[in-house]
């Protein structure tokens, strides 16, 4: 099924079959390239840091008006960063501007080309020799960008922060860091600006080889097989996916992965809008060690590294998704401006949950219906971490958004072999996971942008608070809780944190559309287990990832507000992002509004996370509230094997 989808979406010529919300095609990438070349904006030395679909006008999409196909392009010429918008339809440049206080994202060739210049620097050679490392073929160095601005040089130069690892004796360098040695490098001139050499620790030799671990069947392990002999229960028609009562469009984006559009529920044969657009907006991963080589490790993963390598990576059939799934390919830009095909970048499949959609026992009889789910899955791989990212659709109108974190934890080499007092207090910035190896504590924060359009674009945001009420003169009860609905009028009233002592439900509602019981139709954002940042607001690291301060925000719709830490996050002054936008305290009542959910977790490492971490899942729900007139899954088939 993957080949068919590729032909429908990517290989057709630029004719009416291309939907305005579809990913860029091969011919469109080349049209962008040729337009910029002919105009003189690009030449042989120009780096195409980013080529993304320019989001079409929402109003035009909702009113079925013609929309030109456009691309947003970030070019780099030496230290210069140029932002351009290209009209693909007319092959003209709509806008072009050299940015004075912003930098293009780092490309893969930049990161890995740093190895040679770093290892030629005499200061680095001497530092490695001091550590007993003289065969430089077994040393690998690279230079990473820093999202926040921590040195004066970052304001005018393209600075990479380098580090090195030992490579021999292993298939990869995770867990083989060369501690106490960091390098600052001008990435344009390849000049080493500064070498910082502090503490010396032996490079760990603990087993980090998970690739060649032999399979050992667990006792009584027998095969589990899932198949759909009659084919899938969903349909894909020119980029639109239909399943049971759901209908939506999907495209794959180089920066943020899966982008959902025009998400609707079919209710009594009528399509009803739920969400215009949904996607992850940004990731923030700060590490909690102030030592040299670690104090700069705070990553804005999507915005920093999507030009290095696409945010999402290929899926493995039978591991990430079942063999019967539909797999999707994607076209993304290279740093030369040409398109590159990436296979198996997303998958779509149904699964039986082996749980009832509903049930009840009465008079010795069991009544109910079995449940199933539609999963749209991608996997983001950013350096050491892998994130399995799901959009899960339920027949009852609920969407579950889930992230499974796995991969390899970042570790720090230590002179101490094991914790000296055999307690959890041996180090306050991490935990030993192997000899001479400490897994450094860190956080993960995902900002999800949810452009909710419940029964239309004009929505309001309601806090359904639960407050205690004292009961007087009743011997049976002394207290209950009651609901207290409150409408948020402005952005600051919708900056929310989970407080178990002051619970509330967070709802997008349409005040103009009433259900059969006269309630306004609504969808609730139901938080799951999450976290908020514990870092100080004046920390430059926290400032670039400041969306992590709260669990939820609501803003009025603005087509230019898509990324929670801003568009340009390399050496950023942190003046453009979600927490900057909400300072305007704009009205969010009965208008087109967008929700921003922070899915977060603190990670204190453990031995069980090494050498590769078991997947750990976190999620939240988007679920109907007075949207339907009754339970929408009452009439599900009594058997999952029922023929259509």
Catalytic residues, by residue number, are 301, 385
Cα separation, 509 vs 486, in Å, equals 12
Contact 491, 554 (CB under 8 A): yes
| CA–CA dist 154, 177 (Å, integer) | 25
Task: Give Cα separations from 170 to 95, 154, 208, 212, 495 (angstroms).
Answer: 49, 35, 8, 11, 47
b/e map of 164-202 (b: 16 or more CB within 10 Å)? Answer: bbbeeebebbbbbbbbbbbbbbbbbebebeebebeeebe
H or E element that contains 302 = helix 301-305
249 token code pair: 């469009």
Q: Using CA atoms, how far apart are residues 285 and 519, in angstroms rounded to an integer?
A: 41
Half-sphere exposure of 438 (CA within 13 A, CB side): 26
DSSP symbol at 493:
G
Q: Is-contact 449 278, C-beta < 8 A?
A: yes
Tokens read off for 397: 């109108």
Contacts of 48 (CB under 8 A, 6+ apart): 33, 42, 73, 74, 75, 333, 334, 335, 336, 337
Q: Which of 307, 384, 245, 280 is nearest to 73 (CA)?
A: 307
How far is CA 484 from each of CA 276, 472, 502, 507, 512, rounded to the nearest angstrom? 29, 20, 11, 13, 21
Distance CA 105, CA 159 (A): 12
Residue with tokens 């009852």: 396
Backbone torsion region of residue 148, taken as left when φ is above 0, otherwise alpha when ψ lies between -120 and 50, otherwise beta = beta
400 in Cβ contact with 394 (< 8 Å):
yes
H or E segment to which residue 579 belongs: helix 578-581
Please, are residues 332 and 310 in contact by the beta-carbon 8 Å criterion?
yes
In the 8-state DSSP scheme, what is residue 37? H
DSSP string of 317-332? BTTTB-TTSEEEEEEE
């Amino acid at each position: 099924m993957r080949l068919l989808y590729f032909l429908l979406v990517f290989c057709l010529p630029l004719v009416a079959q291309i939907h305005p919300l579809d990913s860029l095609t091969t011919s469109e990438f080349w049209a962008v390239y040729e337009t910029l070349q002919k105009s003189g904006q690009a030449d042989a030395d120009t780096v195409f840091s980013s080529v993304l679909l320019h989001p079409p006008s929402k109003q035009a999409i909702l009113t079925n008006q013609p929309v030109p196909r456009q691309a947003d392009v970030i070019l780099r010429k030496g230290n210069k960063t140029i932002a351009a918008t290209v009209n693909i339809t007319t092959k003209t440049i709509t806008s072009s501007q050299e940015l004075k206080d912003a930098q293009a994202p780092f490309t893969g060739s930049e990161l890995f080309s740093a190895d040679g210049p770093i290892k030629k620097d005499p200061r680095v050679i001497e530092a490695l020799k001091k550590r007993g490392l003289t065969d430089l073929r077994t040393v690998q160095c690279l230079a990473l960008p820093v999202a926040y601005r921590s040195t004066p040089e970052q304001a005018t130069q393209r600075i990479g922060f380098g580090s090195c690892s030992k490579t021999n004796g292993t298939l990869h360098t995770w867990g083989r860091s060369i501690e106490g040695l960091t390098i600052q490098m001008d990435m344009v001139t390849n000049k080493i600006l500064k070498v910082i050499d502090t503490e010396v620790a032996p490079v760990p030799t603990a087993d980090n080889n998970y690739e060649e671990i032999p399979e050992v069947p667990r006792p009584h392990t027998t095969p589990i097989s899932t198949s759909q002999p009659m084919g899938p229960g969903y349909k894909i028609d020119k980029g639109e996916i239909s399943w049971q009562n759901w209908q939506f469009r999907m495209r794959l984006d180089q920066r943020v992965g899966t982008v959902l559009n025009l998400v609707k529920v079919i209710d009594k044969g009528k399509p009803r809008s739920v969400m215009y657009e949904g996607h992850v907006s940004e990731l923030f991963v700060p590490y909690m060690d102030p030592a040299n080589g670690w104090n700069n490790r705070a990553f804005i993963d999507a915005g920093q590294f999507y030009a290095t390598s696409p945010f999402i990576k290929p899926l493995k059939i039978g591991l990430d998704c079942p063999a019967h799934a539909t797999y999707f390919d994607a076209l993304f830009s290279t740093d030369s401006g040409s398109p590159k095909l990436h296979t198996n970048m997303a998958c779509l499949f149904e699964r039986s949950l082996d749980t009832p959609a509903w049930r009840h026992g009465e008079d010795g009889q069991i009544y109910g219906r079995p449940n199933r789910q539609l999963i749209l899955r991608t996997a983001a791989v950013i350096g050491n971490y892998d994130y399995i990212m799901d959009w899960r659709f339920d027949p009852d109108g609920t969407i579950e958004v889930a992230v499974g974190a796995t991969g390899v934890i970042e570790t720090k080499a230590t002179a101490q072999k094991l914790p000296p007092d055999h307690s959890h207090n041996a180090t306050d910035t991490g935990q030993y996971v192997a000899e001479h190896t400490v897994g450094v504590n860190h956080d993960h924060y995902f900002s999800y942008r949810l452009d909710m359009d419940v029964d239309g674009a004009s929505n309001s945001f309601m806090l359904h608070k639960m407050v205690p009420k004292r009961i007087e003169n009743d011997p049976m009860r002394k207290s209950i809780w009651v609901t207290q609905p409150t409408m948020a009028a402005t952005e600051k009233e919708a900056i929310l944190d989970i407080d178990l002592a002051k619970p509330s439900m967070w709802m997008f509602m349409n005040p103009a559309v009433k259900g059969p019981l006269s309630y306004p139709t609504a969808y609730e954002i139901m938080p799951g287990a999450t976290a908020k940042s514990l870092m100080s607001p004046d920390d430059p690291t926290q400032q670039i990832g400041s969306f992590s301060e709260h669990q939820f925000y609501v803003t009025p719709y603005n087509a230019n507000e898509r990324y929670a830490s801003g568009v340009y996050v390399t050496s950023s002054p942190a003046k453009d992002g979600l927490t900057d936008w909400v300072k305007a305290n704009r009205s969010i009542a009965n208008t087109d509004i967008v929700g921003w959910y922070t899915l977060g977790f603190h990670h204190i490492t453990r031995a069980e996370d090494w050498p590769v971490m078991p997947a750990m899942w976190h999620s939240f729900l988007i679920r109907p509230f007075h949207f339907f007139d009754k339970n929408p899954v009452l009439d599900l088939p009594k058997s999952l094997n029922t023929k259509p």
